[in-house]
Amino acid sequence: MIALLLPFLSIAMSTSSPLEDPLAAPKTAIFIHGAGGGGWEWKAWTPVFEKAGWKCIAEDLQPVSAGIEHTRFSDYLAQVVHQGSRRGKGKLVLVGASMGGILALKSSDRLKPDAVVLVNSVGPAGVGQRKSKAYPKVVEWSKGTLKETQDSMPDSDDATIQFAFHRWRDESGAVLGEISSGIRVETPTCPLLVIIGDRDTDVPNAVGVAMAQKYHGELKSFPGMSHVGPLLGTRATEVANWTIEWLNKHVR
């Protein structure tokens, strides 16, 4: 009988992923996109995280029913907090890019994540020199040209540029204005990773350096990467894998 069972045991063992541990606590990663973008920005990251055993939530931030021009930062924040509160038990990491970074920082005080990862994130109040900027009620990024997308994604391939070009959306000028004026956040009590691309022309590298210093986080700079390069560049999977290695050291 044992001899008959051995082939079946061998097959079962060979088809089980070495990353799966039925006794391990569930792990959830909430990915928060940047202004004018969507959950699609994380298309290179989610497969990497899922392979490492993370449940991934990468939802589009939604405007209020009255329209994008009436949407405020607090509306987006409430959505992120809701995503985190309904995940259930287990480990939680917040991963935010650009505008999503400040949302990750602001929501961390309520969600108490096990780690926060910021990718070319805008800075909160009190970090770096800032100058308030006026925005129209609606920033019409959906009407941008292909050339503008190409210029903003110098480290992406043509297919990804086309993919992004057809998905940019309009953004609330009020939200961008609030961020420009400075969003106050509490110091995270969990491990913090700050990722910057050294060719980011949207958010100065000094902002990321200042956040890492202020919040006692780890700073990782990727050479040759643009503002969206860590997510949509040709080396996006490399950045995601590096992040997983960091999480393996800091989230247990």
Q: What is the pLDDT of residue 173?
A: 98
Average pLDDT over residues 9-37: 66
8-state DSSP, 25: P
Residue 116 DSSP one-character state:
E
Average pLDDT over residues 180-184: 95
* pLDDT tens string 61-113: 999 999 999 999 999 999 999 999 988 889 999 999 999 999 999 999 999 99
Domain edges within the chain:
26-250
pLDDT at residue 89 in the model: 86
User: Is this structure's pTM higher than 0.85?
Assistant: yes
Task: Give tens-digit pLDDT for 24-54.
Answer: 678 999 999 999 999 999 999 999 999 999 9
What pLDDT does residue 251 have?
95
Residue 80, burial from CB neighbour count under 10 angstroms (0-12, 13-18, 19+): buried
The whole-angstrom separation of Cα 62 and Cα 34 is 12
* Mean pLDDT for all residues in the chain: 91
Burial 62-73 (b: 16+ CB within 10 A, else e): ebeeeebbebeb
Residue 129, pLDDT score:
67
- At 132, the pLDDT band (50, 70, 90 cuts) reads confident
- Specify the CATH architecture of the domain 26-250: 3-Layer(aba) Sandwich (3.40)
Per-residue pLDDT reduced to its tens digit, 193-239? 999 999 999 999 999 999 999 999 999 999 999 999 999 999 999 99
User: What pLDDT score does 21 carry?
Assistant: 54
